[in-house]
């Protein structure tokens, strides 16, 4: 029997995170296929150099202070602290003076040590030797197991353990969501770009197979691998993809819909919904440009932006908050629950998604599966997901979206070649089964090795994280 050890360390340690990758990991883990005679799927985490089987991704209720959660919170605050430091460092007078930057750095190091590093060290000592959380139990790996790196492992520190498992005969499969820090570094924090690049070097040399979340990303991964390790090494690995599911698993029937959202939908005027973290790659500024043109032409269409505030978006958020149409024809909600999001999907006129680049585009399938038509930027992965059931606009011309909005408001007809009523997408159970099936299929198909190996390119042995 083959055992698939499906890794979910980051979500295990951050159970309340609910952005794209965390949503995927949680749903895939919850819907893993039952064991049969050929295969068993086991959710695992790698903590403190050891492997554990996950019994529950959700935190256990306890009346005591959760020191582990506090330790995780301190680490998150430390990351935010240094992100802020880098933002301040780029401003005057620090951007113009090495001495000023040095003084700022020393002050920040002292503050971070006293308020963050020292408490984390104390907690590490307190937690050391304590029993592993009850949500997981130790697991002994076996030769022939397959470690499926499903979670965002570039955040992790378990690489030495993964390498030891590999030496012990465990195969490694990497799930890859996108290559945005490599292909579009301008949209990412500089620290993430470096960490992701180091991680990809490691995964390129360590994994046996790669499963992307779209054919678009699968092909990008193969091209990047060719560039980094050469054709001979690439031909010894396999590449595949699976598609994500569409349910909102945290939509609690007993929770309440946001009151502001309910109030907005009381008006019969059309609502165009954007669901995403607010950050440069998602291109919210394009949305505002397009809708300002529509409003100037007399449109009553409303734009609803739903998503938490992310990074590199201070000017955009200020533009929204100071906008004369705010709470009239422009609305923003930064902390909607899944129940509120379900309500928005079921009452909006259309989804608008002007992202520059995506690995998949989860809001598209979440909306379309609920009967909400979607307008998206004309990029390859959206064509892959939506086909002729979506309408597309030109990212170089906001007027192309303006025209779609005005025409739909005027005619009530969604401008896509095919009717959405005939469109169907995967459930998370089907998506999880598809992931497992694709891995099993590739494991049973031996990879061919070329007769004439090519020399490895320079840089192959870059440092791993």
User: pLDDT tens digit string along 8-51?
Assistant: 999 998 887 777 788 899 999 999 999 888 899 999 999 989 99
Phi, psi of 330 (to 5 degrees): -130, 130
Least confident of 56-65, 85-94, 168-177: 56-65
Three-point CA angle 18, 19, 22, nearest 5°? 70
Q: What is the pLDDT of residue 261?
A: 94
Report pLDDT digits (tens) over 261-281: 999 999 999 999 999 999 999
Could you tell me which residue, 117 or 145, shows the higher pLDDT?
145
Q: What is the pLDDT of residue 61?
A: 61
Burial category of 315 from C-beta neighbours within 10 Å (exposed 0-12, middle 13-18, buried 19 and up)? exposed
Which pLDDT band, with edges at 50, 70 and 90, does 230 fall under?
very high
- Identical fold, 2-60+133-245+437-443 and 259-422: yes
| Percentage, residues of the chain above pLDDT 70 | 91
Spatial separation of the C-alpha atoms in residues 432 and 140, rounded to whole Å: 24
458 pLDDT higher than 60: no
CATH tag for 2-60+133-245+437-443 (out of 3.30.450, 3.40.50, 3.90.1570, 3.90.245): 3.40.50
Q: pLDDT band at 122, cuts 50/70/90? A: confident
Structure confidence at residue 130 as a pLDDT band (50, 70, 90) = low
pLDDT digits (tens, 9 = 90+) for 168-197: 999 999 999 999 999 999 998 888 899 999
Task: Output the CATH code of domain 259-422.
Answer: 3.40.50.2000
CA distance linking residue 102 with residue 85, whole number of Å:
12
CA angle 302–304–308, rounded 5-degree value: 165
Give the C-alpha separation, 233 to 348, whole Å.
49
Whether the CA torsion 80, 83, 88, 94 is positive or negative: it is: positive
Query: Beta strand pairing status for 50-54 and 136-138?
Result: antiparallel
Q: Residue 145: pLDDT band by 50, 70, 90 thresholds?
A: very high
Please check the confidence at residue 399 and state whether its pLDDT lies above 90: yes
For residues 276, 281, 283 and 284, what is the CA-based torsion angle, rounded to 10 degrees? Answer: 40
Locate the domains of the chain by residue range.
2-60+133-245+437-443, 67-127, 259-422
What is the reported pLDDT for 125? 76
Over the stretch 219-229, which tens digit does the pLDDT of each residue have? Answer: 999 999 999 99
C-alpha dihedral (28, 30, 32, 36), degrees to nearest 10 = 180
- Is it the case that residue 321 has pLDDT exceeding 70? yes
Q: In whole angstroms, how far apart are CA 250 and each of 15, 112, 119, 369?
A: 12, 35, 33, 17
Q: In what order do the strands lie in the sheet with 238-241?
A: 136-138, 50-54, 39-47, 2-7, 146-149, 171-176, 209-212, 238-241
Q: Which two tokens stand for residue 294?
A: 């529509």
Q: CA quadruple 15, 429, 213, 144: dihedral positive or negative?
A: positive
Q: Which two tokens stand for residue 60?
A: 């256990």
Find the mean pLDDT for residues 197-202.
Answer: 94
Return the higher-pLDDT residue of 246 and 462: 246
Q: Residue 85: name the closest of 211, 191, 212, 202 by CA.
A: 191
Q: Which of 41-45, 60-64, 84-88, 106-110 has the lowest mean pLDDT?
A: 60-64
Average pLDDT estimate for 435-464 = 60
Q: Which pLDDT value is given to residue 17?
A: 75
pLDDT on residue 86: 78
Q: Rounded to an integer, what distance in angstroms lies between the CA atom of residue 30 and that of residue 432?
A: 9
Rounded Cα–Cα distance for residues 354 and 382 (Å): 10
pTM of the model: 0.76
Task: Look over the chain and give the mean of its residue pLDDT values, rounded to a whole number.
Answer: 88
């Amino acid at each position: 029997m083959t055992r698939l050890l499906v890794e979910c360390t980051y979500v295990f340690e951050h159970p309340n995170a609910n952005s794209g990758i965390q949503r995927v990991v949680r749903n895939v883990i919850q819907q893993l296929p039952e064991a049969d005679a050929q295969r068993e799927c086991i959710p695992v985490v790698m903590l403190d150099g050891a492997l554990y089987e996950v019994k529950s991704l959700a935190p256990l209720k306890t009346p005591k202070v959760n020191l582990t959660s506090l330790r995780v919170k301190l680490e998150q605050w430390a990351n935010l602290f240094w992100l802020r430091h880098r933002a301040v460092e780029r401003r005057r007078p620090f951007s113009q003076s090495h001495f000023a930057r040095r003084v700022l750095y020393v002050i920040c190091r002292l503050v971070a040590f006293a308020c963050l590093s020292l408490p984390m060290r104390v907690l590490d000592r307190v937690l050391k030797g304590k029993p592993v959380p009850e949500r997981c139990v130790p697991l002994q790996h076996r030769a022939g197991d397959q470690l499926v790196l499903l979670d965002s492992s570039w955040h992790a520190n378990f690489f030495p353990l993964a390498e030891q498992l590999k030496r012990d005969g465990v195969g490694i499969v990497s799930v890859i969501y996108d290559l945005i820090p490599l292909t579009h570094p301008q949209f990412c924090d500089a620290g993430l770009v470096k960490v992701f690049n180091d991680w990809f070097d490691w995964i390129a040399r360590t994994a046996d197979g790669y499963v992307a979340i779209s054919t678009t990303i699968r092909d990008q991964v193969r091209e990047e691998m060719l560039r980094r390790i050469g054709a001979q090494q690439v031909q010894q690995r396999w590449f595949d993809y699976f598609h994500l599911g569409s349910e909102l698993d945290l939509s609690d029937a007993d929770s309440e819909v946001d009151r502001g959202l309910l109030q907005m939908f009381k008006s019969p005027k059309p609502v165009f919904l954007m669901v995403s973290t607010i950050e440069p790659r998602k291109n919210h500024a394009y949305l505002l440009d397009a809708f300002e043109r529509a409003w100037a032409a007399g449109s009553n269409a409303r734009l609803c932006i739903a998503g938490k505030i992310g990074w590199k978006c201070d000017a955009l958020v200020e533009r929204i908050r100071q906008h004369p149409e705010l709470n009239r024809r422009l609305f923003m909600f930064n902390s909607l629950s899944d129940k509120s999001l379900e309500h928005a999907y079921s009452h909006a006129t259309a989804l608008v998604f002007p992202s520059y680049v995506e690995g998949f585009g989860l809001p598209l399938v979440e909306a379309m599966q609920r009967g909400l038509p979607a307008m998206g930027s004309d990029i390859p992965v959206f064509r892959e997901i939506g086909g002729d059931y979506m309408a597309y606009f030109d990212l170089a011309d906001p007027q192309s979206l303006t025209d779609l909005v005005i025409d739909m408001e005027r005619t009530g007809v969604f401008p896509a070649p095919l009717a959405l009523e005939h469109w169907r997408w995967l459930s998370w159970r089907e998506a999880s089964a598809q992931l497992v099936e694709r891995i099993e299929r590739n494991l049973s198909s031996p990879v061919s090795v070329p007769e004439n190996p090519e020399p490895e390119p320079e840089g192959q042995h870059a440092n791993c994280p």
